[in-house]
Amino acid sequence: MHKNLLIAFTTILLIGFYACSHNSQIIKPLVTPIDTSTHHITDTTSTTDTIKEVLDTSVCFQRDILPIMQTACAKSGCHDAITKKSGYNLTSYSLIIAKGVVKGSASTSKLYTACISFKMPPSPAPRLDSTQLTFLKRWINNGAHNDTNCVVNCDTTKFTYKAALVPILNNYCNSCHASSAASSSGGGIVLDNYNGVLVQAQNGKLMGDIMHTSGYHAMPLGGSMLSDCKITQFRKWIAAGSQNN
Ligand code: HEC
């Protein structure tokens, strides 16, 4: 009797094992897990010279909000650490959330309402564009967190003027270098059209400035250095002939 039970038990166990090992061969994961080890920014001198980042549509403070604040709002004479116009110092996370931000409610946050009503940034500085406004709204509604570990949306295999450079210039540079703002806040340097960018690419100042090379003007002025991936996109675009592509 005991022997029979043992045989029956072993048989069930074997069938079970077979079924499991069999299943594992046919069940494929629906979603390929993201390999987080590839999500870091590699040095520009990396041997492959190819940095790919996964597209992340959610908002992230360090990536999407801080650059807007630093370059479009924290300008000298406006909301930098010295002027602090109307009590707003928009240079860092703790200072940004200190005034005008109601966590979870963009519609009652002055930081957002002033921008959506186009009071800020004041003319002739360009308004925030619809992507920037959406980011700001989403970030506040999400709770205005200090997200630092952002997935960077950048790919060094793409380095055309329109697809790669224009979005960077719009986000990090044209709050000062748009045609309308250049004379008042961009030293007369215009970067919102191809010819303007070409001049700075050819005279070497564009690369010198974004790489913070000594003897150049570190850009974006008052903001953090662009990521290695973005700098690589500029470098590759110039190496390929600075075309209007
Ligand atoms: C907050 C305003 C501001 C932002 C943002 C900004 N710049 Fe500038 N930029 C300036 C000013 C002001 C000057 C003039 C500097 C001078 O001549 O002293 C300047 C000068 C330049 C020059 C000419 C430098 C030279 O040596 O004559 C280049 C090129 C440039 N910026 C590129 C950029 C790029 C690229 C970005 C974005 C990645 C950027 N800037 C973001 C304010 C800004």
**For 94-133, how does the pLDDT look when each residue is reduced to its tens digit (9 = 90+)?**
999 999 999 999 999 999 999 999 999 999 888 998 889 9
* Local confidence band at 151 (pLDDT 50, 70, 90 cut-offs): confident
Ligand 1 mean position, distance from CA 241 (Å):
22
Rounded to an integer, the average pLDDT of 54-77 is 84
**Which of 49-58, 62-71, 124-133, 209-218 reaches the highest mean pLDDT?**
209-218
Look at the block and give the residue holding tokens 């959610």.
Answer: 58
Dihedral (CA of 92, 97, 101, 104) sign? positive
pLDDT digits (tens, 9 = 90+) for 198-220: 999 999 999 999 999 999 999 99
Ligand 1 mean position, distance from CA 190 (Å):
9
Q: Whose CA is nearest to atom 29 of ligand 1?
A: 206
The predicted pLDDT at position 50 comes to 60
Provide the terminal-to-terminal Cα distance of the chain, rounded to the nearest Å: 82
Phi, then psi, of 239 in degrees rounded to 5: -60, -30
pLDDT digits (tens, 9 = 90+) for 172-191: 999 999 999 999 999 999 99
Ligand 1 mean position, distance from CA 229 (Å):
20
Q: Whose CA is nearest to atom 14 of ligand 1?
A: 187
Q: Please, are residues 102 and 109 in contact by the beta-carbon 8 Å criterion?
A: yes
Candidate of 70, 176, 193 to mutate for ligand 1, largest count of ligand atoms within 8 Å of Cβ: 176
| Peptide bond between residue 29 and the one before it cis (omega within 30 degrees of 0) | no
Phi, then psi, of 220 in degrees rounded to 5: -70, 135
The pocket around ligand 1, CB under 6 angstroms, is made up of 71, 75, 172-173, 175-177, 185-187, 189, 200, 205-206, 209-210, 216-217, 219-223, 226
Residues, the chain, total?
245
More confident residue, 171 or 153: 171
The predicted pLDDT at position 41 comes to 38
- Whether residue 231 is predicted with pLDDT greater than 90 in this model: the reply is yes
The predicted pLDDT at position 57 comes to 52
Q: How far is CA 53 from CA 35, 81, 224, in A?
A: 11, 33, 20
Ligand 1 mean position, distance from CA 221 (Å):
6
Closest CA to 73 of 209, 223, 177: 223
- Whether residue 21 is predicted with pLDDT greater than 70 in this model: the reply is no
The predicted pLDDT at position 200 comes to 98
For 192, the token pair is: 């919102």
The predicted pLDDT at position 28 comes to 37
CA separation for the pair 155, 55 (Å, rounded): 9
The predicted pLDDT at position 235 comes to 97
Q: Give the percent of the chain with pLDDT over 70.
A: 77
Query: 13-48 burial string, b = 16+ CB within 10 Å, else e?
Result: eeeeeeeeeeeeeeeeeeeeeeeeeeeebbeeeeee
Whole-angstrom Cα Rg for the chain: 25
